[in-house]
Chain A
Amino acid sequence: MKLRLDPWASDYGTSLQAEEVVVGEVERVSLYVERDESEWVAIAPPHATDEWPHVLFIDGCRRIDARVFLEDERRQLAFGLLGSCAVGVASSLRDSGIHQAHFLDLWDIDQVCILSGGHQVAAFTIDQGLASQFGALRFRIVSTEARELDALEGTLQSDMLRKERALAARLIDQFPDALILCDGPRPLLGGEENVVGYVKTIRDQKIPPEQINQVRLLEEGQRSPLYLVHTKDPRHQYYEWFLRLRDPRPWLHSFAGLVRLQALAGSAPASRLAEVVRLADWSCLQLPLFSSRQHQDPRAPQQLLPIRALESELRRRMGDTRLLRRRITSYLARQGG
């Protein structure tokens, strides 16, 4: 027995057990869709593939700027929060000599007011109070029937996911040839084939311990064979595989540097298999290039570089939370006591 280190910074939970929103209800898993039981071992694709030179990375960011209570003269009616929610896209084009990485101007950033217990208020705008302030804050109202405190954050999260889905849908139209990589589980959209989910954490293990042991043996740039995840709604069935972005150092635990990828299988999985195998091979060769190093991100190597840049850009575009809080305070103060 040995103690082994988790590479993520301790305030991010662990790479084994971070939050994950379950996408579609999983019914069962078919293990041997790509390889038989005897051959279910690490796969190292031999050749570089230049398919999908254009990759779009989607990510979202959310932030609670203030917690509020809805009150009347007699009592507190509901609790709520004022938050910011932002999604965006980083594009990476690496095609025969053209190397370009930039943000697409498809930002969706706004302020939201979430209230519990199904309560509603009118949407409101905090105008610039002083000449030195720029911009106005427009709060969208989202109401949730739930009454628990935790549910507010969940609502904010799903609001963000909704935006991500909307953005992914736009990208499918706009860039039919690009591969769209979503930070987090594959969003439920429908029949889109180019959208890949990128799961940084390994909490929800859908395969038995024997195969998990094979996964632990993966080396850098190797993947597990595909397995098929059946969902209640057959349209949302998907293939999933493990990928090792970096060889773990001997002092790290054996899941360090592993990610899971999800690609559409749909209601006729067999017809999609060849395509997804190509995609999985591509991921072995290309994604390690994008992986971050220990000094670059607290969630290295799973946090991909474009997503790291996108997250900090989104946080920048959401504005400084202290300034927002000050604007909110002075707005509520002007409303009268």
Chain B
Amino acid sequence: MNANPTIGMVLGTEDATPLQFWFAVSAGCKVQLDDIVFVEVGDPSNQDQGVRFYGVVDEVRRRFEGVQFDGDTELVVDGLLPADVAYGAHVLVTRVDPEEFIPPAPGDRVYEAHGDALEKALYLDHMESPLPAGVLRNGEPGFINFDFINGQKGAHVNISGISGIATKTSYALFLLYSLFNAKLQEGLLRMGSSATKAVIFNLKGEDLLFIDQPNSVFSQEEQRWQQRHRVNTSRYSICGLPETPFESCEMYAPARDARRGEALMADVIQREGVRPYLWTVHAFANERMLPFVLADREAMTNLAFLVGHVEEKLVQLAAKQAGPHLEVDAFRHHLESASADEEDREWSPLNAEEFLNSKRTDRDRLETFDDLVSYLEYKLLYQVGRDGSPSGDPTWVASQAKATREAFIRRLRGASKYLRRLVRGDLNQDLLKRAVLDILGSDKQVHVVDLHQLAPLAQMFTVGVLLKRIFDQKEAGRKGQVFIVLDELNKYAPSEGESPIKDVLLDIAERGRSMGVILIGAQQTASEVERRIVANAAIRVVGRLDAAEAERGEYRFMPGSFRMRSTILAPGTMIVHQPDVPSPMMLTFPFPAWATRKKEAAESVSDSEAQDILG
């Protein structure tokens, strides 16, 4: 009737239900966790009609049958007591076809699922656009329904796992690679792949700045896997993917703290050709970046209003100007400290003209982040009011208490040492053009934004500003899809408290689906991330988990056996859950074909290759 091999029969000594059952494994058969099986069950009222139950093995056990005491085991092994070994496997039913929820009968044959049966068990027949997601333990490719990533039916991926072992970032990159390279059915990347972009935030070393270069140890590592699993094809070819590094990449790193007029350099050591990024003082005002400086604004609820008000005033200020600096009414002479700044400023022939210009008029230029803070300090605290006392400009102060204003300025001053290299107004347009982070406007597909050198506050600022800009552009109707890979979600969107970055991420999680902004987020512990962000991810992925973490409610989407196993997963093995397949898949993903650190970047020619070339 079917070509799938029989591997056992439904047990009669344990309850068999439509949702789960045990089966006795036939002698000589090997059944292990995650094996996919099905059982053919006769309809008791109509023997001609059968029901097929597809399922995943989620527990296997062997024990001596017919012995009573623990001590009997030794007797059996010594040949003193006869006993049989009972080999049983428990199956979680994933699909009933047709939907007749009768229990399987004791003795019904259980088959290993292959070919069509396997596709049905994994719901591949329902997937219009299956996205390769790795290799299942039986050596077949595992797929994610792409409709649940691209926003059609659902969106977003969330990955949990212990740092260093769970290989979260590697898996996120593999998914991304699969997205860009899989032979997806036509129209899958709806706007055409050229309009599809990816933004990857690099938090650890300069690791991800090499993903556009081939990995020198890749073939060796992948062959090791092939040998261990005795297969001839690599996991890439099992998944139907090429073995190449990422194409069409652009790397960005924060600009070095350069002096006025010097060339802008990206702050990286190992990689060349990285574009520096920063924002102008004008853009800071005009694009409402102020809230992202005060990432934990909930610490002082009074600040929220003031921040919003000042943000608005800055937008008004910037509206009539072109940047990169901001021009304001002269204020420095009112600030004692400002004069000290002037003295510090070094003389350079290149900026002499600008400098003179600024002196000549009754206007001052805000060319650095510190200038901006000074100006705000003047406006909020020291501007002399009508009554002659230094109480700030009433239109800026907005009736906020002095202590609040002081706290606000204190915080900005505290932030300026981290932000002065990222927010500048003293560069000429040519330099600036290179340093603008315009991901949607770029013709490249994959954009790696390095954050690892930045202090936490500056990281938050960069992520917040960048995501906000992308989201705003998409909201304004920009075409295409953007995939955002962001680790350490617990830092950007913690489960408790409010922050502007969390607002942006929540917006992406809740509305991004319809706008084509897809978050591939990761964190060590899902329980520490805002619940709505995790809950909105259609695809949940778990690598190695901490045992206490695995017991939390956030992981209840996995059956108990998977939760237990998540604490012992090896690096490179992931549990993937998707909405339309009831049971999670456990799969491994291939070793990256792209370099994940400097020493993997294959740049030199090996001796044998040289010989080949030379003949």
Residues of A within 8 A of B (CB): 90-94, 98-103, 131, 289-290, 295-296, 305-306, 308-310, 312-313, 316
- Contact, CB under 8 Å: A310 / B80: no
- Contact, CB under 8 Å: B79 / A305: no
- Contact, CB under 8 Å: A310 / B82: yes
Cα–Cα, bound, A316→B68 (Å) = 14
Cα–Cα, bound, A296→B78 (Å) = 17
Nearest residue in B to A57 (C-beta to C-beta)? B82
- Contact, CB under 8 Å: B66 / A313: yes
Q: How far is the CB of A53 from chain B (nearest CB, A)?
A: 9
Interface residues of B in 65-108 (CB under 8 A from A): 66-69, 71-72, 75-84
| Residues of B contacting A93 in the complex (Cβ-Cβ under 8 angstroms) | 79
> What does DSSP make chain A's interface, helix, strand, loop or mixed?
mixed
Closest 8 CB pairs of A and B: A99-B79, A101-B82, A90-B82, A305-B81, A94-B79, A101-B79, A102-B82, A309-B82
Contact of B83 among A98, A101, A131 (CB under 8 A): A101
The size class of the interface chain B forms with chain A is: 10 to 19
Q: How many A-B residue pairs have CB under 8 A?
A: 53
Nearest residue in A to B75 (C-beta to C-beta)? A305
Q: How far is the CB of A106 from chain B (nearest CB, A)?
A: 13
Cα–Cα, bound, A93→B44 (Å) = 46
Q: How far is the CB of B517 from chain A (nearest CB, A)?
A: 58
- Contact, CB under 8 Å: B44 / A309: no
| Residues of A contacting B68 in the complex (Cβ-Cβ under 8 angstroms) | 296
Nearest residue in B to A291 (C-beta to C-beta)? B80
Cα–Cα, bound, A91→B83 (Å) = 11
- 29 pairs from A and B in contact (CB 8 Å cutoff): A90-B82, A92-B79, A92-B82, A93-B79, A94-B80, A99-B78, A100-B79, A101-B80, A102-B82, A102-B83, A102-B84, A103-B82, A290-B80, A295-B69, A296-B68, A296-B69, A296-B72, A305-B75, A305-B80, A305-B81, A306-B80, A306-B81, A309-B66, A309-B81, A309-B82, A310-B82, A312-B66, A313-B66, A313-B82
- Contact, CB under 8 Å: B82 / A289: no
| Residues of B contacting A305 in the complex (Cβ-Cβ under 8 angstroms) | 75, 80-81
Nearest residue in B to A297 (C-beta to C-beta)? B68
Cα–Cα, bound, A290→B76 (Å) = 11
Cα–Cα, bound, A99→B72 (Å) = 14
Q: How far is the CB of B319 from chain A (nearest CB, A)?
A: 83
| Residues of A contacting B76 in the complex (Cβ-Cβ under 8 angstroms) | 101
Nearest residue in B to A289 (C-beta to C-beta)? B80
> What does DSSP make chain B's interface, helix, strand, loop or mixed?
loop
| Residues of A contacting B44 in the complex (Cβ-Cβ under 8 angstroms) | 131
- Contact, CB under 8 Å: B67 / A309: yes
Nearest residue in A to B105 (C-beta to C-beta)? A132
Cα–Cα, bound, A312→B84 (Å) = 13
Q: Tell whether A91 pairs with B66 under 8 Å between CB atoms, given A99-B77, A101-B76, A131-B44.
A: no
Residues of B within 8 A of A (CB): 44, 66-69, 71-72, 75-84
Q: How far is the CB of A29 from chain B (nearest CB, A)?
A: 33
Nearest residue in B to A104 (C-beta to C-beta)? B82
| Residues of A contacting B78 in the complex (Cβ-Cβ under 8 angstroms) | 94, 99, 101, 289
Cα–Cα, bound, A131→B77 (Å) = 40
| Residues of B contacting A312 in the complex (Cβ-Cβ under 8 angstroms) | 66
| Residues of B contacting A102 in the complex (Cβ-Cβ under 8 angstroms) | 82-84
Nearest residue in A to B44 (C-beta to C-beta)? A131
Q: How far is the CB of B282 from chain A (nearest CB, A)?
A: 83
Most B Cβ at <10 Å: residue of A90, A92, A100, A305: A305
| Residues of A contacting B69 in the complex (Cβ-Cβ under 8 angstroms) | 295-296
| Residues of A contacting B72 in the complex (Cβ-Cβ under 8 angstroms) | 296
Cα–Cα, bound, A296→B80 (Å) = 14
Q: How far is the CB of A181 from chain B (nearest CB, A)?
A: 13
| Residues of B contacting A289 in the complex (Cβ-Cβ under 8 angstroms) | 78, 80
| Residues of B contacting A310 in the complex (Cβ-Cβ under 8 angstroms) | 82
Cα–Cα, bound, A305→B79 (Å) = 10
Q: How far is the CB of A297 from chain B (nearest CB, A)?
A: 9
Q: Tell whether A92 pairs with B80 under 8 Å between CB atoms, given A131-B44, A305-B75.
A: yes
| Residues of A contacting B79 in the complex (Cβ-Cβ under 8 angstroms) | 92-94, 98-101
Cα–Cα, bound, A308→B69 (Å) = 13
Q: How far is the CB of A259 from chain B (nearest CB, A)?
A: 16
Contact of A91 among B75, B77, B82 (CB under 8 A): B82
Q: How far is the CB of B75 from chain A (nearest CB, A)?
A: 6
| Residues of B contacting A306 in the complex (Cβ-Cβ under 8 angstroms) | 80-82
Most A Cβ at <10 Å: residue of B67, B69, B82, B84: B82
Cα–Cα, bound, A99→B69 (Å) = 19
Q: How far is the CB of B72 from chain A (nearest CB, A)?
A: 8
| Residues of B contacting A296 in the complex (Cβ-Cβ under 8 angstroms) | 68-69, 71-72
| Residues of B contacting A316 in the complex (Cβ-Cβ under 8 angstroms) | 66
| Residues of B contacting A94 in the complex (Cβ-Cβ under 8 angstroms) | 78-80
Q: A289-B80, A309-B82 are in contact. List 12 more A-B contacts (CB 8 A).
A: A92-B82, A94-B78, A99-B79, A100-B79, A101-B79, A101-B80, A101-B82, A102-B84, A103-B82, A308-B81, A309-B67, A313-B66
Cα–Cα, bound, A309→B66 (Å) = 7
| Residues of B contacting A309 in the complex (Cβ-Cβ under 8 angstroms) | 66-67, 81-83
Cα–Cα, bound, A94→B76 (Å) = 11
